[in-house]
Structure 1
Amino acid sequence: FWPVERTEPPVRVGGPGPANVLLVQNLRDPATPLSGARETRAAFGARARMVTVDAGGHGVFTRENACGNDVVLGYLRDGVFPATDGSCRSGG
């Protein structure tokens, strides 16, 4: 699947694992509804943050919402883990 070896073992939701899980979720995603994202967020507990984006469709990153893109880029490129859950307005 990926051309490189993973550096961490798979994570069981609710089990021990990384302390910096970032979830990004469109409010109107027909493939993975917001209700499921909220359940996943709750299962990860204090070690996760969720940022919702006021948009439809499946997938947040590289879409037209600058706020959502900035959150993901900050996390992946700069290691910035949000202090709290957050949200991005439409067109953000």
Structure 2
Amino acid sequence: MSRPANKRDPATPIEGALAMRKALGNRARMITANEGGHGAYLLTGNACLDDLTTRFLTDGTKPADDVRC
């Protein structure tokens, strides 16, 4: 699983995303954007987050480690 998240999301705070990442262990990777607002993928213009998430959705490739964009 690849989990994109905005660092400053008022609707779904980053703490919830971090807890899910921890619960999923090595099965997941966290892609965090230093952005605000709700919704990270394709909504903030963050090419780093968008590219990594698109890669996961199209061919299942997840980053080797968690990524901060």
Name the TM-score, length of structure 2 as normaliser: 0.91
Between the aligned partners of 1:61 and 1:46, the Cα distance in structure 2 is 22
What's the counterpart of residue 57 of structure 2? 76
The answer to whether structure 1 residue 85 and structure 2 residue 46 are counterparts is no
Give the greater-gyration-radius structure (CA).
1
1:33 partner letter: P
- RMSD, aligned CA: 0.9
Larger RCO (CA under 8 A, 6+ residues apart): 2
Give me the identity figure in percent.
47
Q: Cα deviation per residue 1:20-79 (whole Å; 9 max; x = unaligned)?
A: x11111000001101111111111111111010010011111121111110111111132
Of the candidates 24, 33, 52, which is equivalent to residue 32 of structure 2?
52
Length, aligned pairs only:
68
Q: Which runs of 5+ in 2 are unaligned?
A: none
Other structure's SS at 2:57 match: helix
Structure having the larger proportion of residues in helix: 2
Other structure's SS at 1:45 match: helix
Runs of 4+ with >2 A deviation: none
